[in-house]
Chain A
Protein backbone atom coordinates (compact mmCIF):
# COMPACT_ATOMS: atom_id res chain seq x y z
CA UNK A 1 0.00 0.00 0.00
CA UNK A 2 1.39 3.45 -0.86
CA UNK A 3 2.33 5.55 2.16
CA UNK A 4 -0.18 8.19 1.06
CA UNK A 5 -3.06 5.74 1.19
CA UNK A 6 -1.86 4.47 4.53
CA UNK A 7 -2.01 8.06 5.84
CA UNK A 8 -5.53 8.70 4.54
CA UNK A 9 -7.99 9.41 7.36
CA UNK A 10 -10.47 11.87 5.86
CA UNK A 11 -12.38 12.12 2.61
CA UNK A 12 -14.04 15.44 1.77
CA UNK A 13 -16.43 15.86 -1.17
CA UNK A 14 -17.39 19.31 -2.45
CA UNK A 15 -20.28 19.13 -4.89
CA UNK A 16 -20.85 22.20 -7.05
CA UNK A 17 -23.75 22.93 -9.38
CA UNK A 18 -24.60 22.67 -13.04
CA UNK A 19 -21.54 23.01 -15.26
CA UNK A 20 -20.24 20.53 -17.83
CA UNK A 21 -16.67 19.29 -18.15
CA UNK A 22 -16.02 21.05 -21.44
CA UNK A 23 -17.54 24.30 -20.19
CA UNK A 24 -15.12 24.49 -17.25
CA UNK A 25 -12.10 22.40 -18.24
CA UNK A 26 -12.44 21.81 -22.00
CA UNK A 27 -9.90 24.54 -22.75
CA UNK A 28 -7.18 22.59 -20.92
CA UNK A 29 -6.70 20.28 -23.89
CA UNK A 30 -4.63 22.98 -25.56
CA UNK A 31 -2.25 22.86 -22.59
CA UNK A 32 -2.28 19.10 -22.00
CA UNK A 33 -3.42 16.86 -24.84
CA UNK A 34 -4.17 14.02 -22.42
CA UNK A 35 -7.12 15.97 -21.05
CA UNK A 36 -10.22 15.10 -23.06
CA UNK A 37 -11.34 18.64 -23.69
CA UNK A 38 -12.08 20.61 -26.82
CA UNK A 39 -10.06 20.62 -30.05
CA UNK A 40 -11.73 23.73 -31.47
CA UNK A 41 -13.62 21.79 -34.14
CA UNK A 42 -16.68 20.86 -32.10
CA UNK A 43 -20.02 22.39 -33.02
CA UNK A 44 -23.78 21.90 -32.93
CA UNK A 45 -26.16 22.97 -35.66
CA UNK A 46 -28.48 25.81 -34.76
CA UNK A 47 -32.14 25.86 -35.73
CA UNK A 48 -31.29 27.63 -39.00
CA UNK A 49 -28.81 24.93 -39.95
CA UNK A 50 -25.77 27.10 -39.25
CA UNK A 51 -22.80 26.00 -37.20
CA UNK A 52 -22.61 26.95 -33.52
CA UNK A 53 -18.98 26.28 -32.57
CA UNK A 54 -17.60 25.57 -29.11
CA UNK A 55 -15.57 28.71 -28.44
CA UNK A 56 -13.85 30.14 -25.32
CA UNK A 57 -16.38 32.93 -24.89
CA UNK A 58 -18.03 31.94 -21.61
CA UNK A 59 -18.69 34.79 -19.19
CA UNK A 60 -18.82 34.64 -15.42
CA UNK A 61 -22.42 35.81 -15.23
CA UNK A 62 -25.38 37.17 -17.23
CA UNK A 63 -24.83 34.87 -20.18
CA UNK A 64 -26.88 31.74 -19.48
CA UNK A 65 -30.16 33.43 -18.68
CA UNK A 66 -32.66 31.80 -18.65
CA UNK A 67 -31.21 28.86 -16.79
CA UNK A 68 -30.65 26.16 -19.46
CA UNK A 69 -33.18 23.37 -19.25
CA UNK A 70 -31.69 20.23 -17.75
CA UNK A 71 -34.75 18.19 -16.96
CA UNK A 72 -34.74 14.66 -18.32
CA UNK A 73 -36.56 15.31 -21.59
CA UNK A 74 -34.37 18.31 -22.47
CA UNK A 75 -31.17 16.41 -21.70
CA UNK A 76 -32.41 13.60 -23.93
CA UNK A 77 -32.64 16.13 -26.79
CA UNK A 78 -29.17 17.48 -25.96
CA UNK A 79 -27.61 14.00 -26.10
CA UNK A 80 -29.58 12.46 -28.97
CA UNK A 81 -30.46 15.58 -30.99
CA UNK A 82 -34.16 14.79 -30.72
CA UNK A 83 -33.86 11.29 -32.20
CA UNK A 84 -36.25 8.92 -30.41
CA UNK A 85 -35.75 5.92 -32.72
CA UNK A 86 -34.72 2.54 -31.27
CA UNK A 87 -31.38 2.69 -33.10
CA UNK A 88 -30.46 6.23 -32.06
CA UNK A 89 -26.88 7.19 -31.26
CA UNK A 90 -25.67 9.72 -28.71
CA UNK A 91 -24.29 12.57 -30.85
CA UNK A 92 -24.21 15.44 -28.32
CA UNK A 93 -25.69 17.45 -31.17
CA UNK A 94 -28.87 18.88 -29.60
CA UNK A 95 -27.65 21.41 -27.04
CA UNK A 96 -28.29 24.49 -29.17
CA UNK A 97 -31.70 23.24 -30.29
CA UNK A 98 -32.67 22.54 -26.71
CA UNK A 99 -31.59 26.00 -25.50
CA UNK A 100 -33.30 27.68 -28.45
CA UNK A 101 -36.64 26.38 -27.17
CA UNK A 102 -36.38 28.59 -24.08
CA UNK A 103 -35.98 32.01 -25.73
CA UNK A 104 -36.43 31.21 -29.42
CA UNK A 105 -33.43 33.39 -30.18
CA UNK A 106 -30.90 31.74 -32.48
CA UNK A 107 -27.99 33.98 -31.50
CA UNK A 108 -28.61 33.46 -27.81
CA UNK A 109 -29.02 29.69 -28.18
CA UNK A 110 -25.41 29.37 -29.41
CA UNK A 111 -24.08 30.54 -26.05
CA UNK A 112 -24.76 27.08 -24.67
CA UNK A 113 -21.62 25.98 -26.56
CA UNK A 114 -19.28 28.46 -24.87
CA UNK A 115 -16.52 27.40 -22.51
CA UNK A 116 -14.07 29.20 -20.25
CA UNK A 117 -10.52 29.91 -21.30
CA UNK A 118 -8.34 28.20 -18.63
CA UNK A 119 -6.89 31.48 -17.34
CA UNK A 120 -10.38 32.67 -16.40
CA UNK A 121 -10.72 29.84 -13.86
CA UNK A 122 -7.36 29.88 -12.07
CA UNK A 123 -8.50 27.75 -9.13
CA UNK A 124 -10.23 24.91 -10.93
CA UNK A 125 -7.74 24.65 -13.79
CA UNK A 126 -4.74 24.81 -11.46
CA UNK A 127 -6.16 22.01 -9.33
CA UNK A 128 -6.92 19.97 -12.46
CA UNK A 129 -3.32 20.22 -13.66
CA UNK A 130 -1.68 19.88 -10.25
CA UNK A 131 -3.63 16.84 -9.03
CA UNK A 132 -5.91 14.25 -10.70
CA UNK A 133 -8.52 15.23 -13.27
CA UNK A 134 -11.08 12.68 -14.45
CA UNK A 135 -11.67 12.40 -18.20
CA UNK A 136 -14.69 10.21 -17.51
CA UNK A 137 -16.72 11.34 -14.50
CA UNK A 138 -20.38 11.50 -15.53
CA UNK A 139 -23.48 12.64 -13.73
CA UNK A 140 -25.52 9.61 -12.68
CA UNK A 141 -28.76 10.59 -14.41
CA UNK A 142 -29.31 12.59 -17.62
CA UNK A 143 -31.45 14.92 -15.57
CA UNK A 144 -31.55 17.59 -12.86
CA UNK A 145 -29.94 18.19 -9.47
CA UNK A 146 -31.82 16.22 -6.84
CA UNK A 147 -31.83 12.78 -8.44
CA UNK A 148 -28.13 13.20 -9.21
CA UNK A 149 -27.26 14.30 -5.70
CA UNK A 150 -29.19 11.30 -4.34
CA UNK A 151 -26.62 9.07 -6.03
CA UNK A 152 -23.86 10.81 -4.08
CA UNK A 153 -25.59 10.05 -0.78
CA UNK A 154 -27.24 6.67 -1.41
CA UNK A 155 -25.76 5.25 -4.62
CA UNK A 156 -29.24 5.42 -6.10
CA UNK A 157 -32.11 7.80 -6.82
CA UNK A 158 -34.61 5.03 -6.08
CA UNK A 159 -36.14 5.14 -9.54
CA UNK A 160 -36.43 8.93 -9.86
CA UNK A 161 -35.16 11.14 -12.67
CA UNK A 162 -36.62 14.44 -11.50
CA UNK A 163 -36.85 17.03 -8.73
CA UNK A 164 -39.98 15.84 -6.96
CA UNK A 165 -40.08 14.85 -3.34
CA UNK A 166 -38.89 11.30 -3.13
CA UNK A 167 -37.10 8.58 -1.24
CA UNK A 168 -39.11 8.86 1.98
CA UNK A 169 -38.64 5.10 2.36
CA UNK A 170 -35.16 4.38 1.19
CA UNK A 171 -34.08 0.86 0.39
CA UNK A 172 -30.40 1.61 0.82
CA UNK A 173 -28.89 3.38 3.80
CA UNK A 174 -27.21 6.72 3.28
CA UNK A 175 -23.44 6.73 3.40
CA UNK A 176 -23.73 8.73 6.65
CA UNK A 177 -25.82 6.02 8.32
CA UNK A 178 -23.35 3.38 7.18
CA UNK A 179 -20.42 5.21 8.72
CA UNK A 180 -22.36 5.94 11.89
CA UNK A 181 -23.23 2.27 12.30
CA UNK A 182 -19.56 1.42 11.82
CA UNK A 183 -18.52 3.82 14.58
CA UNK A 184 -17.18 6.43 12.16
CA UNK A 185 -18.05 10.11 11.88
CA UNK A 186 -19.71 11.75 8.89
CA UNK A 187 -21.16 15.18 8.27
CA UNK A 188 -22.88 17.28 5.62
CA UNK A 189 -21.79 20.89 5.89
CA UNK A 190 -24.24 23.35 4.33
CA UNK A 191 -23.19 26.96 3.85
CA UNK A 192 -25.61 28.54 6.34
CA UNK A 193 -29.25 28.28 7.36
CA UNK A 194 -30.34 30.62 4.57
CA UNK A 195 -28.70 28.45 1.95
CA UNK A 196 -29.47 25.20 3.80
CA UNK A 197 -29.24 21.83 2.11
CA UNK A 198 -30.65 20.07 -0.93
CA UNK A 199 -30.89 16.82 1.05
CA UNK A 200 -34.10 17.56 2.90
CA UNK A 201 -36.69 14.84 2.80
CA UNK A 202 -34.73 11.97 4.14
CA UNK A 203 -31.50 13.36 5.50
CA UNK A 204 -32.35 16.74 7.09
CA UNK A 205 -35.79 15.60 8.16
CA UNK A 206 -34.81 12.31 9.75
CA UNK A 207 -31.04 12.47 10.25
CA UNK A 208 -30.37 16.10 11.27
CA UNK A 209 -27.50 15.00 13.48
CA UNK A 210 -25.36 14.66 10.35
CA UNK A 211 -25.56 18.37 9.47
CA UNK A 212 -23.31 21.30 10.23
CA UNK A 213 -22.52 24.70 8.72
CA UNK A 214 -19.56 25.78 6.63
CA UNK A 215 -18.33 27.88 9.56
CA UNK A 216 -18.22 24.70 11.58
CA UNK A 217 -16.28 22.97 8.78
CA UNK A 218 -13.67 25.69 8.98
CA UNK A 219 -13.52 25.42 12.77
CA UNK A 220 -13.25 21.63 12.53
CA UNK A 221 -10.35 22.03 10.13
CA UNK A 222 -8.51 24.34 12.53
CA UNK A 223 -9.23 22.12 15.54
CA UNK A 224 -8.39 18.91 13.73
CA UNK A 225 -11.84 17.51 14.46
CA UNK A 226 -12.98 16.91 10.91
CA UNK A 227 -15.10 13.74 10.60
CA UNK A 228 -13.92 10.75 8.63
CA UNK A 229 -16.21 11.76 5.78
CA UNK A 230 -17.45 15.27 4.95
CA UNK A 231 -19.80 16.43 2.21
CA UNK A 232 -19.86 20.18 1.53
CA UNK A 233 -22.67 22.15 -0.07
CA UNK A 234 -21.93 25.63 -1.45
CA UNK A 235 -24.03 28.75 -0.96
CA UNK A 236 -27.11 28.43 -3.18
CA UNK A 237 -28.30 32.07 -3.10
CA UNK A 238 -27.27 35.70 -2.91
CA UNK A 239 -28.31 36.89 0.55
CA UNK A 240 -27.13 38.97 3.48
CA UNK A 241 -25.34 37.37 6.40
CA UNK A 242 -26.21 37.87 10.04
CA UNK A 243 -24.08 41.00 10.15
CA UNK A 244 -25.67 42.41 7.02
CA UNK A 245 -22.71 41.50 4.81
CA UNK A 246 -23.34 40.45 1.21
CA UNK A 247 -22.91 36.70 0.77
CA UNK A 248 -22.69 35.76 -2.88
CA UNK A 249 -23.93 32.42 -4.13
CA UNK A 250 -20.92 30.17 -4.62
CA UNK A 251 -22.61 27.16 -6.23
CA UNK A 252 -21.86 28.32 -9.82
CA UNK A 253 -25.43 27.51 -10.80
CA UNK A 254 -26.36 29.80 -13.71
CA UNK A 255 -26.78 32.76 -13.37
CA UNK A 256 -24.60 32.96 -10.25
CA UNK A 257 -21.13 34.40 -10.68
CA UNK A 258 -18.62 31.64 -11.42
CA UNK A 259 -15.81 33.58 -9.73
CA UNK A 260 -17.43 33.24 -6.32
CA UNK A 261 -17.47 29.48 -6.80
CA UNK A 262 -13.77 29.62 -7.59
CA UNK A 263 -13.20 31.43 -4.31
CA UNK A 264 -15.29 28.90 -2.43
CA UNK A 265 -13.32 25.98 -3.87
CA UNK A 266 -10.11 27.76 -2.91
CA UNK A 267 -11.39 28.40 0.63
CA UNK A 268 -12.15 24.69 1.14
CA UNK A 269 -8.69 23.79 -0.17
CA UNK A 270 -7.04 26.44 2.03
CA UNK A 271 -8.90 25.24 5.12
CA UNK A 272 -7.46 21.76 4.67
CA UNK A 273 -3.98 22.93 3.69
CA UNK A 274 -3.70 25.29 6.67
CA UNK A 275 -3.66 22.36 9.12
CA UNK A 276 -0.59 20.24 8.23
CA UNK A 277 -1.85 17.14 10.04
CA UNK A 278 -5.15 17.39 8.21
CA UNK A 279 -3.58 18.15 4.85
CA UNK A 280 -1.44 15.03 4.90
CA UNK A 281 -4.38 12.80 5.85
CA UNK A 282 -7.17 14.14 3.62
CA UNK A 283 -8.37 13.60 0.07
CA UNK A 284 -10.65 16.27 -1.41
CA UNK A 285 -12.92 15.47 -4.34
CA UNK A 286 -14.36 18.46 -6.21
CA UNK A 287 -17.22 17.40 -8.46
CA UNK A 288 -20.29 18.93 -10.13
CA UNK A 289 -23.73 17.39 -9.71
CA UNK A 290 -24.76 17.67 -13.35
CA UNK A 291 -24.04 19.62 -16.53
CA UNK A 292 -26.85 22.14 -16.24
CA UNK A 293 -27.82 21.84 -19.91
CA UNK A 294 -24.39 23.09 -21.06
CA UNK A 295 -22.45 21.49 -23.92
CA UNK A 296 -20.03 18.60 -23.53
CA UNK A 297 -18.65 16.59 -26.44
CA UNK A 298 -18.33 13.11 -24.86
CA UNK A 299 -21.41 10.88 -25.23
CA UNK A 300 -22.49 9.43 -21.89
CA UNK A 301 -21.77 5.69 -21.87
CA UNK A 302 -24.16 2.88 -21.00
CA UNK A 303 -24.05 1.66 -17.41
CA UNK A 304 -25.30 -1.07 -15.12
CA UNK A 305 -29.08 -0.62 -14.77
CA UNK A 306 -30.16 0.41 -11.30
CA UNK A 307 -33.01 -2.08 -11.09
CA UNK A 308 -35.67 0.61 -11.52
CA UNK A 309 -37.75 2.02 -14.36
CA UNK A 310 -38.83 5.65 -14.70
CA UNK A 311 -42.16 5.70 -16.49
CA UNK A 312 -42.88 7.91 -19.53
CA UNK A 313 -44.85 10.35 -17.42
CA UNK A 314 -41.77 10.94 -15.33
CA UNK A 315 -39.21 11.15 -18.14
CA UNK A 316 -41.28 13.44 -20.36
CA UNK A 317 -39.92 11.75 -23.48
CA UNK A 318 -42.85 9.40 -23.99
CA UNK A 319 -40.53 6.52 -23.25
CA UNK A 320 -39.47 4.75 -20.08
CA UNK A 321 -35.91 5.00 -18.80
CA UNK A 322 -34.16 1.95 -17.42
CA UNK A 323 -31.28 3.72 -15.67
CA UNK A 324 -28.94 2.10 -18.15
CA UNK A 325 -27.13 5.22 -19.38
CA UNK A 326 -25.22 7.88 -17.46
CA UNK A 327 -25.82 11.62 -17.63
CA UNK A 328 -23.57 14.23 -19.23
CA UNK A 329 -19.91 14.47 -18.18
CA UNK A 330 -18.99 16.86 -15.37
CA UNK A 331 -15.73 18.25 -13.96
CA UNK A 332 -14.16 16.12 -11.23
CA UNK A 333 -10.78 16.60 -9.55
CA UNK A 334 -9.15 14.61 -6.75
CA UNK A 335 -6.82 16.68 -4.56
CA UNK A 336 -4.27 15.26 -2.14
CA UNK A 337 -0.56 15.85 -1.55
CA UNK A 338 -0.20 12.14 -2.22
CA UNK A 339 -1.63 12.34 -5.76
CA UNK A 340 0.98 12.60 -8.50
CA UNK A 341 1.11 15.98 -10.21
CA UNK A 342 -0.61 16.00 -13.58
CA UNK A 343 -2.58 12.78 -13.15
CA UNK A 344 -5.18 12.37 -15.87
CA UNK A 345 -7.63 9.54 -15.16
CA UNK A 346 -8.50 7.97 -18.52
CA UNK A 347 -12.07 8.28 -19.78
CA UNK A 348 -14.11 6.66 -22.53
CA UNK A 349 -11.97 8.05 -25.36
CA UNK A 350 -8.70 6.80 -23.83
CA UNK A 351 -6.94 3.47 -23.54
CA UNK A 352 -7.88 1.54 -20.39
CA UNK A 353 -10.87 3.77 -19.67
CA UNK A 354 -12.36 4.19 -16.22
CA UNK A 355 -15.92 5.43 -15.91
CA UNK A 356 -16.89 7.25 -12.73
CA UNK A 357 -20.28 8.58 -11.65
CA UNK A 358 -21.73 9.88 -8.38
CA UNK A 359 -22.31 6.34 -7.08
CA UNK A 360 -18.50 6.22 -6.98
CA UNK A 361 -18.71 8.47 -3.90
CA UNK A 362 -20.59 6.14 -1.51
CA UNK A 363 -18.73 3.25 -3.13
CA UNK A 364 -15.33 4.73 -2.27
CA UNK A 365 -16.29 6.02 1.17
CA UNK A 366 -17.97 2.76 2.20
CA UNK A 367 -15.15 0.64 0.85
CA UNK A 368 -12.56 2.70 2.68
CA UNK A 369 -14.23 3.45 6.00
CA UNK A 370 -16.74 0.63 6.45
CA UNK A 371 -16.15 -2.57 4.52
CA UNK A 372 -15.32 -3.32 0.87
CA UNK A 373 -17.70 -6.26 1.17
CA UNK A 374 -20.60 -4.12 2.45
CA UNK A 375 -23.48 -5.79 0.65
CA UNK A 376 -26.51 -3.51 0.96
CA UNK A 377 -25.79 -1.31 -2.02
CA UNK A 378 -27.59 -0.46 -5.23
CA UNK A 379 -26.58 -2.29 -8.42
CA UNK A 380 -25.08 0.96 -9.69
CA UNK A 381 -22.96 1.44 -6.59
CA UNK A 382 -21.77 -2.15 -6.70
CA UNK A 383 -20.61 -1.59 -10.26
CA UNK A 384 -19.09 1.85 -9.63
CA UNK A 385 -15.39 2.67 -9.72
CA UNK A 386 -13.61 3.67 -6.52
CA UNK A 387 -11.00 6.45 -6.52
CA UNK A 388 -8.66 5.93 -3.55
CA UNK A 389 -6.23 4.04 -5.80
CA UNK A 390 -5.28 7.40 -7.32
CA UNK A 391 -3.38 8.13 -4.13
CA UNK A 392 -0.16 6.53 -5.28
CA UNK A 393 2.76 8.44 -3.77
CA UNK A 394 5.08 7.26 -1.01
CA UNK A 395 6.55 10.71 -0.45
CA UNK A 396 4.26 13.62 0.27
CA UNK A 397 4.43 16.50 -2.19
CA UNK A 398 5.59 19.86 -0.91
CA UNK A 399 5.10 21.64 -4.23
CA UNK A 400 1.33 21.96 -4.04
CA UNK A 401 -0.16 25.34 -4.98
CA UNK A 402 -1.30 27.98 -2.53
CA UNK A 403 -4.34 30.13 -3.18
CA UNK A 404 -4.26 33.69 -1.97
CA UNK A 405 -7.77 35.09 -1.71
CA UNK A 406 -8.07 38.80 -2.48
Chain B
Protein backbone atom coordinates (compact mmCIF):
# COMPACT_ATOMS: atom_id res chain seq x y z
CA UNK B 1 0.00 0.00 0.00
CA UNK B 2 1.62 3.22 -1.16
CA UNK B 3 1.40 6.27 1.08
CA UNK B 4 1.34 9.46 -0.96
CA UNK B 5 2.13 12.65 0.89
CA UNK B 6 0.15 15.64 -0.30
CA UNK B 7 1.75 18.90 0.79
CA UNK B 8 -0.17 21.93 2.00
CA UNK B 9 -0.93 24.54 -0.58
CA UNK B 10 1.21 27.61 0.19
CA UNK B 11 -0.66 30.34 2.03
CA UNK B 12 0.49 32.74 -0.67
CA UNK B 13 -1.92 31.06 -3.08
CA UNK B 14 -4.87 32.54 -1.17
CA UNK B 15 -6.06 35.66 -2.92
CA UNK B 16 -9.59 36.71 -1.95
CA UNK B 17 -9.00 39.98 -3.78
CA UNK B 18 -8.72 38.20 -7.12
CA UNK B 19 -11.18 39.48 -9.72
CA UNK B 20 -14.05 36.99 -10.01
CA UNK B 21 -14.00 34.81 -13.10
CA UNK B 22 -16.72 34.84 -15.69
CA UNK B 23 -17.95 31.60 -14.12
CA UNK B 24 -18.53 33.23 -10.73
CA UNK B 25 -20.20 36.25 -12.33
CA UNK B 26 -22.53 33.93 -14.21
CA UNK B 27 -23.28 32.11 -10.97
CA UNK B 28 -24.36 35.41 -9.40
CA UNK B 29 -26.52 36.21 -12.41
CA UNK B 30 -28.30 32.91 -12.13
CA UNK B 31 -28.90 33.38 -8.41
CA UNK B 32 -30.27 36.87 -8.95
CA UNK B 33 -32.47 35.60 -11.74
CA UNK B 34 -33.82 32.86 -9.48
CA UNK B 35 -34.91 35.50 -6.97
CA UNK B 36 -36.81 37.62 -9.43
CA UNK B 37 -40.58 37.47 -9.52
CA UNK B 38 -41.62 35.11 -12.29
CA UNK B 39 -43.04 37.91 -14.42
CA UNK B 40 -39.66 39.65 -14.47
CA UNK B 41 -37.69 36.62 -15.53
CA UNK B 42 -37.27 37.69 -19.10
CA UNK B 43 -33.92 37.28 -20.81
CA UNK B 44 -33.83 40.92 -21.84
CA UNK B 45 -30.55 42.75 -22.22
CA UNK B 46 -29.34 46.31 -22.03
CA UNK B 47 -27.76 47.93 -25.07
CA UNK B 48 -24.31 46.94 -23.81
CA UNK B 49 -25.38 43.29 -23.79
CA UNK B 50 -25.54 42.82 -20.01
CA UNK B 51 -28.56 41.10 -18.60
CA UNK B 52 -31.14 43.57 -17.36
CA UNK B 53 -31.60 42.19 -13.88
CA UNK B 54 -27.92 41.80 -13.04
CA UNK B 55 -26.86 43.77 -9.96
CA UNK B 56 -23.68 41.88 -9.21
CA UNK B 57 -21.54 44.36 -11.11
CA UNK B 58 -20.51 45.90 -7.78
CA UNK B 59 -18.77 42.68 -6.85
CA UNK B 60 -15.10 43.28 -7.52
CA UNK B 61 -13.34 40.45 -5.69
CA UNK B 62 -13.80 36.75 -5.06
CA UNK B 63 -14.36 37.38 -1.36
CA UNK B 64 -17.16 39.84 -2.13
CA UNK B 65 -18.63 37.41 -4.63
CA UNK B 66 -18.52 34.60 -2.06
CA UNK B 67 -20.28 36.70 0.56
CA UNK B 68 -22.96 37.80 -1.91
CA UNK B 69 -23.43 34.25 -3.21
CA UNK B 70 -23.98 32.99 0.35
CA UNK B 71 -26.74 35.54 0.90
CA UNK B 72 -28.39 34.78 -2.44
CA UNK B 73 -28.16 31.01 -1.97
CA UNK B 74 -29.82 31.19 1.43
CA UNK B 75 -32.56 33.38 0.01
CA UNK B 76 -33.22 31.06 -2.91
CA UNK B 77 -33.67 28.24 -0.44
CA UNK B 78 -35.83 30.41 1.86
CA UNK B 79 -37.99 31.47 -1.07
CA UNK B 80 -38.62 27.86 -1.96
CA UNK B 81 -39.47 26.99 1.64
CA UNK B 82 -41.80 29.98 1.82
CA UNK B 83 -43.50 28.93 -1.41
CA UNK B 84 -43.94 25.40 -0.13
CA UNK B 85 -45.42 26.67 3.13
CA UNK B 86 -47.90 28.89 1.31
CA UNK B 87 -48.86 26.05 -0.99
CA UNK B 88 -49.35 23.78 2.02
CA UNK B 89 -51.67 26.36 3.60
CA UNK B 90 -53.81 26.13 0.49
CA UNK B 91 -53.59 29.71 -0.74
CA UNK B 92 -55.37 30.34 -4.02
CA UNK B 93 -53.26 29.58 -7.08
CA UNK B 94 -52.89 33.22 -8.11
CA UNK B 95 -51.52 34.21 -4.69
CA UNK B 96 -49.14 31.29 -4.74
CA UNK B 97 -47.76 32.47 -8.05
CA UNK B 98 -47.25 35.98 -6.73
CA UNK B 99 -45.51 34.70 -3.65
CA UNK B 100 -43.35 32.15 -5.35
CA UNK B 101 -39.85 33.64 -5.47
CA UNK B 102 -38.39 36.05 -2.97
CA UNK B 103 -39.97 39.29 -4.05
CA UNK B 104 -37.70 42.33 -3.97
CA UNK B 105 -34.99 40.34 -2.28
CA UNK B 106 -32.25 41.47 -4.60
CA UNK B 107 -33.34 45.08 -4.40
CA UNK B 108 -33.64 45.26 -0.65
CA UNK B 109 -30.49 43.43 0.26
CA UNK B 110 -28.05 46.29 0.00
CA UNK B 111 -28.48 48.02 3.42
CA UNK B 112 -28.22 44.72 5.25
CA UNK B 113 -25.42 43.67 3.01
CA UNK B 114 -23.43 46.84 3.64
CA UNK B 115 -23.85 46.33 7.35
CA UNK B 116 -22.59 42.75 7.21
CA UNK B 117 -20.02 42.79 4.48
CA UNK B 118 -18.91 46.38 4.24
CA UNK B 119 -19.83 47.17 0.67
CA UNK B 120 -22.95 47.99 -1.25
CA UNK B 121 -24.10 46.47 -4.49
CA UNK B 122 -25.34 49.06 -6.93
CA UNK B 123 -27.02 48.56 -10.26
CA UNK B 124 -24.46 47.93 -12.98
Contacts from A to B (Cβ < 8 Å): 17, 60-61, 67, 122-123, 126, 144-146, 163-165, 168, 192-198, 200-201, 204-206, 208, 211, 236-240, 246, 248-249, 253, 255, 257, 259-260, 262-263, 266, 398-406
Known: A123-B4, A240-B16, A249-B62. A257 touches B31 (CB 8 A): no
The reply to whether A401 and B3 form a contact with Cβ atoms under 8 Å apart is yes
The reply to whether A257 and B16 form a contact with Cβ atoms under 8 Å apart is no
- Would you call B89 an interface residue if the criterion is a C-beta within 8 Å of the partner chain's C-beta atoms? no
The reply to whether A237 and B6 form a contact with Cβ atoms under 8 Å apart is no
- Considering the complex, give the chain A residue whose CB is closest to the CB of B73: A196
The reply to whether A257 and B76 form a contact with Cβ atoms under 8 Å apart is no
The 25 listed contacts between A and B (C-beta, < 8 Å) are A61-B13, A67-B22, A122-B4, A123-B4, A126-B2, A164-B43, A193-B69, A193-B70, A193-B73, A195-B66, A196-B73, A197-B73, A200-B34, A204-B34, A205-B34, A236-B24, A237-B20, A238-B14, A238-B16, A253-B23, A257-B13, A263-B9, A401-B2, A403-B6, A405-B6
Give A257 to B11 CA distance when docked, in angstroms. Answer: 11
The reply to whether A198 and B14 form a contact with Cβ atoms under 8 Å apart is no
Give A405 to B70 CA distance when docked, in angstroms. Answer: 28
CB neighbours of A126 from chain B (8 A): 2, 4
- Would you call B8 an interface residue if the criterion is a C-beta within 8 Å of the partner chain's C-beta atoms? yes
The reply to whether B62 and A404 form a contact with Cβ atoms under 8 Å apart is no
- Would you call B106 an interface residue if the criterion is a C-beta within 8 Å of the partner chain's C-beta atoms? no
The reply to whether B77 and A204 form a contact with Cβ atoms under 8 Å apart is yes
Contacts from B to A (Cβ < 8 Å): 1-11, 13-16, 18, 20-24, 26-27, 29-31, 33-34, 41, 43, 51, 62-63, 65-67, 69-70, 72-74, 76-77, 80-81, 101
The reply to whether B66 and A194 form a contact with Cβ atoms under 8 Å apart is yes
CB neighbours of A403 from chain B (8 A): 3-4, 6
Contact of A208 (CB < 8 Å), options: B11, B76, B101: B76
Known: A193-B74, A200-B34, A404-B4. A239 touches B63 (CB 8 A): yes
Q: Which has the most chain B C-beta neighbours within 10 Å: A17, A123, A163, A239?
A: A239
Known: A248-B9, A248-B14. A201 touches B34 (CB 8 A): yes
The reply to whether B20 and A401 form a contact with Cβ atoms under 8 Å apart is no
CB neighbours of A61 from chain B (8 A): 13
Given contacts A263-B6, A405-B6, 16 further A-B contacts (CB under 8 A): A61-B13, A126-B4, A163-B26, A194-B70, A196-B70, A204-B73, A204-B77, A237-B20, A238-B63, A239-B62, A239-B67, A249-B62, A255-B18, A259-B13, A404-B5, A406-B5
- Considering the complex, give the chain A residue whose CB is closest to the CB of B26: A163
The reply to whether B18 and A200 form a contact with Cβ atoms under 8 Å apart is no
Give A48 to B82 CA distance when docked, in angstroms. Answer: 60
CB neighbours of A405 from chain B (8 A): 6, 8
Give A403 to B3 CA distance when docked, in angstroms. Answer: 6
The reply to whether B16 and A195 form a contact with Cβ atoms under 8 Å apart is no
Give A399 to B3 CA distance when docked, in angstroms. Answer: 10
CB neighbours of B43 from chain A (8 A): 164-165
Known: A196-B69, A204-B34. A406 touches B7 (CB 8 A): yes
Q: How far is the CB of B116 from chain A (nearest CB, A)?
A: 13
The reply to whether A196 and B31 form a contact with Cβ atoms under 8 Å apart is yes
- Considering the complex, give the chain A residue whose CB is closest to the CB of B7: A406
CB neighbours of A122 from chain B (8 A): 4-6
Report the 8 A-B pairs with minimum CB-CB distance, sorted nearest first: A239-B66, A194-B66, A257-B13, A200-B30, A193-B70, A237-B62, A205-B34, A196-B73
Known: A164-B43, A195-B69, A403-B4. A205 touches B80 (CB 8 A): yes
Give A74 to B24 CA distance when docked, in angstroms. Answer: 20
Q: How far is the CB of B99 from chain A (nearest CB, A)?
A: 15
- Considering the complex, give the chain A residue whose CB is closest to the CB of B74: A193
The reply to whether A402 and B2 form a contact with Cβ atoms under 8 Å apart is yes
The reply to whether B6 and A240 form a contact with Cβ atoms under 8 Å apart is no
The reply to whether A206 and B80 form a contact with Cβ atoms under 8 Å apart is yes
Q: How far is the CB of A159 from chain B (nearest CB, A)?
A: 14
Give A196 to B26 CA distance when docked, in angstroms. Answer: 13
CB neighbours of B9 from chain A (8 A): 248, 257, 259-260, 263
Give A201 to B81 CA distance when docked, in angstroms. Answer: 16
The reply to whether B21 and A253 form a contact with Cβ atoms under 8 Å apart is yes
Known: A60-B13, A146-B26, A165-B29. A401 touches B6 (CB 8 A): no
CB neighbours of B72 from chain A (8 A): 196
Known: A165-B29, A402-B1. A262 touches B62 (CB 8 A): no
Give A84 to B75 CA distance when docked, in angstroms. Answer: 45
Contact of B1 (CB < 8 Å), options: A197, A236, A398: A398
